[in-house]
A and B are shown apart, each in its own frame.
Chain A
């Protein structure tokens, strides 16, 4: 196995921290790359990027909901608000892929259409590569890189039911966008199938009565206090088409972020979630056999969480252990 080029990895990390767009793009390609050499360098890069991100760094927001609810259009509207407020924004848009061919049409970008002159916005699309309802393991490290260079990182993903917990296990704040007139969201919420979001949005408020009805149905179906405690889930109406209510949504997102910061829960949250993702990523890379070699899921998660400050370093060490183990088996 080739050792990654440490100098160039360090240079890349520095360039990312300086928000160099070409470097960020290069890092995203690297994190997407499943070849062992690339994985090695990716682990090294992630280790270098681990600064105080989990405490000070940016705000990681998940935006989910049924297809067609207006998540991408609403994201574009939010981006405009954030840019006016001087915040730099990166987006990871996760689209479904064609299961048969593995091919995918990455269509969210079209709705987000941002100015080509504005260096404060960066949009990357990702297909979910057969991980139906879930997010592929690349999303986590990619969000880490984006957090290093941007104030807000937004992850858009399709989600309607139970299996879509991934996004809420990744982000600081999760926002669910409901489609007016569709009873699904209400049903899911009542049945407890829907993971309770931090913010509930009924978009397309410009549709009038249907939207108002859905808004009130959702409000009454929802227990207002979030299971996290201390947070009253707001139910907001927006129109991404006319920008109505988008400022208020941005405010609500910011309030939740401030709450996490003030209670010093942001870092705790991220650590907790990141061990989930670390496990997920190792599982994808090495299979359940690999996880068993590391003592099984429970023990692994406990071990990761016991040294929370050193996630990426742990990632590197665990991979190293597995490679050595596999090497021993083979020789």
Chain B
């Protein structure tokens, strides 16, 4: 045993992304984790907080406290950090469209704790461009969103110097189907778009601009092709070094370093034989730790039950232990870089760099990253890549153990338990949160609130930095919904391109597809007009992959597809179904709010007299809920286990035939 502790590198930061139910419950969770030696916090906010709605907004129904903690006002934020000294904490907040607001609340709480805001340390994700492309929690059009991003950066660089104002994310792009080349290209194009915008805003004196460059950090993904992924991280480092030197003239090597955190790939984690996810996660972790010169600063891992639902504390602990075993038991941290000088690695790195440069040039040709949001170029490229991935899973070219090969399995003891292996959020959380919000509103000085909101409106319109009036809003008890509403009025709201308008990808044609196509055509003829399918994403859920893939496949199978993107109200979906005369409504819900949303949509359909249209749903739906939904009249429930898209299409045709009195099997 040659464990020379002297020479061992310090391990990366190990984080657990968490938050749920309420500020109080999450605070207890954080304090437990801290008392067990965790050094930093990683806060997950619920979807209403991320999209700028108070917990009692109609769009928040079913979402409050579900996938993160609800924060409505300074009272909630204070409760979240109760007995946690912010002066000594390193807090990472996954927050984007409302990032200036959550940072304002954090600053205001620090003031109340008597901590000098200049001492605060932590990260706001604050990368809104990838929200339009993948993550879905955008609010405003691209231009004002970028302005808010730059305001936060400019403010922290000058007032909270140790803060990481933005974490450029390629993580979410891979989760939406991006190839390693695309991850490199789009993340770096985003970083330059944001840095250019900060420079153009004139808020930073030219001689301090390299400080801004030095504060940019990245949030990266690592998939199962772990050799290529290691090379990708090396490519990232090299490209960022060149780019910061050549484009921004950064001379200090430290400021050119590619600082990144990681969450490993979750898209490839399966519902079938979920125990296999453990080895996937471990291999993926290897890719971001193996090469010392391209090692992650912080890592958070998903849990084995990722595709089943939210993880329980034990599941998260298991994921944390994987990191600890690698860092503490293996000899990985005892060596220098293992890959330097390998010609194989070098060739791969160079190929990735070349490919990324080509793609970055294409982005430039389409007007740059910000323009590419609205003209849909990048989103279409992502949907295209994801479609290719899905086709090769279907054809078996891409092997996924337990999914398209070696499917047979002994019964798993992991999912046999009573709670079917996932965490359930207490249903009372939403009611309690709403009651406490309403009580909070009564305690405020309304004239102060109005005054602060007016100052916010003025700053939004006249272009002065949004942070100071936001901090004032935080102090006097403005709510998340009020802050966002003012900005919605000034900036307007936005709906991003869906990217589904792509040509059929190569290899789409197969005998199975031809079979479905014939059935779709024939059934359309029997019913007098082409079959129409509405794909609806109700609620605040931003998971669009499934809906996009069903849309593209449906089009290829001959359906006429109506799909308006994410975040529609039940009323909008019901109305579109009626106006467009669709034969079937297919909902896609991965946020966990399926029960409430289906109930609301059924009610809306009844209200407007759009009855008799069959409904199916797909997404993360626990078995027990699936049964309940079928009792409520849903014709089919699809989950990640249903990987054969041709079968899904066939089932939908059968349901349409049945609903219209045709021989179902024909």
B268 in the interface, Cβ–Cβ < 8 Å? no
Minimum CB distance partner of B528 in chain A: A33
Contact B556 A124 (CB under 8 A): no
Minimum CB distance partner of A117 in chain B: B571
How far is A162 from B578 in the complex, measured between Cα atoms in Å? 35
Looking at the complex, which one of B557, B564, B580 makes contact with A103 (CB distance below 8 Å)? Answer: B557
B 577-604 to A, binary, CB cutoff 8 A, 1 in contact else 0: 0111100000000000000000000000
| Residues on A with beta carbons closer than 8 Å to the beta carbon of B428 | none
B65 in the interface, Cβ–Cβ < 8 Å? no
Contact A34 B555 (CB under 8 A): no
Looking at the complex, which one of A32, A100, A125 makes contact with B504 (CB distance below 8 Å)? Answer: A100
A98 in the interface, Cβ–Cβ < 8 Å? yes
| Residues on B with beta carbons closer than 8 Å to the beta carbon of A22 | 578, 608-610
| Residues on A with beta carbons closer than 8 Å to the beta carbon of B561 | 103-106
Total A-B residue pairs with C-beta atoms closer than 8 Å?
100
Contact B555 A101 (CB under 8 A): yes
Q: Of A107-115, A165-173, A261-269, A322-330, which binds chain B?
A: A107-115
A25 in the interface, Cβ–Cβ < 8 Å? yes
A116 in the interface, Cβ–Cβ < 8 Å? yes
| Residues on A with beta carbons closer than 8 Å to the beta carbon of B560 | 97, 103-104, 106, 127
How far is A28 from B610 in the complex, measured between Cα atoms in Å? 14
Given A101-B556, A127-B530, check contact A110 B565 (CB 8 Å). Answer: yes
* Range, interface on chain A: 20 to 34
Contact A105 B551 (CB under 8 A): yes
Give A8-53 interface residues, CB cut-off 8 Å to B.
21-22, 25, 28-29, 32-35, 38
Contact B571 A116 (CB under 8 A): yes
Given A22-B609, A116-B575, A123-B579, check contact A109 B562 (CB 8 Å). Answer: yes
Contact B495 A110 (CB under 8 A): yes
How far is A82 from B529 in the complex, measured between Cα atoms in Å? 32
How far is A25 from B608 in the complex, measured between Cα atoms in Å? 11
Q: How far is the CB of A145 from chain B (nearest CB, A)?
A: 12
Minimum CB distance partner of A34 in chain B: B528
Q: How far is the CB of A276 from chain B (nearest CB, A)?
A: 23
Contact B572 A124 (CB under 8 A): no
| Residues on A with beta carbons closer than 8 Å to the beta carbon of B528 | 32-35, 38
Contact B579 A25 (CB under 8 A): yes
How far is A107 from B560 in the complex, measured between Cα atoms in Å? 10
Given A29-B529, A122-B579, check contact A107 B501 (CB 8 Å). Answer: yes
Minimum CB distance partner of B503 in chain A: A98
Looking at the complex, which one of B498, B524, B571 makes contact with A110 (CB distance below 8 Å)? Answer: B498
Contact B581 A28 (CB under 8 A): yes
Looking at the complex, which one of A38, A98, A129 makes contact with B555 (CB distance below 8 Å)? Answer: A98
Contact A101 B563 (CB under 8 A): no
A102 in the interface, Cβ–Cβ < 8 Å? yes
Minimum CB distance partner of B502 in chain A: A105
B 603-615 to A, binary, CB cutoff 8 A, 1 in contact else 0: 0000011100000
How far is A99 from B663 in the complex, measured between Cα atoms in Å? 28
How far is A100 from B557 in the complex, measured between Cα atoms in Å? 10
How far is A194 from B232 in the complex, measured between Cα atoms in Å? 51
How far is A148 from B557 in the complex, measured between Cα atoms in Å? 35
Most buried by B among A33, A68, A113, A116: A116
Minimum CB distance partner of A98 in chain B: B555
B157 in the interface, Cβ–Cβ < 8 Å? no
How far is A102 from B557 in the complex, measured between Cα atoms in Å? 8
Minimum CB distance partner of A29 in chain B: B581
Minimum CB distance partner of B564 in chain A: A110
How far is A29 from B579 in the complex, measured between Cα atoms in Å? 9
Contact A125 B580 (CB under 8 A): yes
| Residues on A with beta carbons closer than 8 Å to the beta carbon of B574 | 116
Contact B558 A113 (CB under 8 A): no
Given A32-B529, A35-B528, A127-B530, check contact A102 B579 (CB 8 Å). Answer: no
Q: How far is the CB of B472 from chain A (nearest CB, A)?
A: 29
Given A34-B528, A103-B561: 5 more A-B contacts, CB < 8 Å: A98-B555, A104-B560, A105-B501, A109-B576, A110-B497
Residues of A within 8 A of B (CB): 21-22, 25, 28-29, 32-35, 38, 68, 97-98, 100-107, 109-111, 113, 116-117, 122-125, 127, 129
Residues of B within 8 A of A (CB): 375, 495, 497-498, 500-501, 504, 517, 520-521, 524-525, 527-530, 551, 554-565, 569, 571-572, 574-576, 578-581, 608-610
26 A-B interface contacts by CB (under 8 A):
A21-B609, A22-B578, A25-B578, A25-B579, A28-B581, A29-B529, A34-B525, A34-B528, A68-B375, A101-B517, A102-B530, A103-B558, A103-B559, A103-B561, A104-B561, A106-B560, A106-B580, A107-B498, A107-B500, A107-B563, A110-B495, A110-B497, A110-B564, A117-B571, A122-B579, A125-B580
Q: 9 tightest A-B contacts by CB?
A: A33-B528, A116-B571, A22-B609, A103-B555, A35-B528, A29-B581, A116-B572, A32-B529, A103-B558
